[in-house]
Amino acid sequence: MFRVIRRKHWLRWCSRKGIDLDASLFSLDTCYYGAGIRSRPGTLVILPDRIVHYSYSLRDTLWALGERSIRVDLPFANVASIRKQQISFWLRVAQLEPQAHLRIRMTDGAVHDFFLQRDATAFFDALHTLGLQLTAE
């Protein structure tokens, strides 16, 4: 379990960014977006109609060094597939031992990679509650 932001600070950050944690089916304070060297730490939230990843900036955590905060919204209506990926040794090291690697492919062909640092089972349960199918690589 690895956190890049303290819980108290995270709750204030979510409030400032307009992230309604009460409306979420799942929320996680530390999830990396992107499988490359420039993956972004941020918050992952499942809302009734979408998955949202909102990355941190250097003002929020030192782990976001050199990054600006961006929000990625993935409406379920545009999701083609959600796959649980195997984590290679190098990705496991680079992403600081994540619990799960997910690849979400959109209907337009765009691909989004997420590395959950913890609570992967709760994430999968939330997707299942919404009727979304998770497949394994």
Please name the CATH architecture into which domain 7-136 falls.
Roll (2.30)
d(CA 33, CA 68) in angstroms, rounded, equals: 13
Q: Which pTM does this prediction carry?
A: 0.88
Contact 29, 123 (CB under 8 A): no
- Helical (H) or strand (E) element with 124: helix 120-129
Rounded to the nearest integer, the mean pLDDT of the chain is 88
Percentage of the chain lying above the pLDDT 70 cut: 93
Q: Judging by DSSP bridges, how do beta strands 40-47 and 134-136 pair with one another?
A: unpaired
Identify the CA nearest to 120 among candidates 28, 23, 50: 28
pLDDT one-digit tens code per residue, 10-43: 999 899 999 999 999 999 998 999 887 778 889 9
Q: Break the chain into its structural domains and give their ranges.
A: 7-136
pLDDT one-digit tens code per residue, 82-103: 999 988 888 777 667 788 999 9
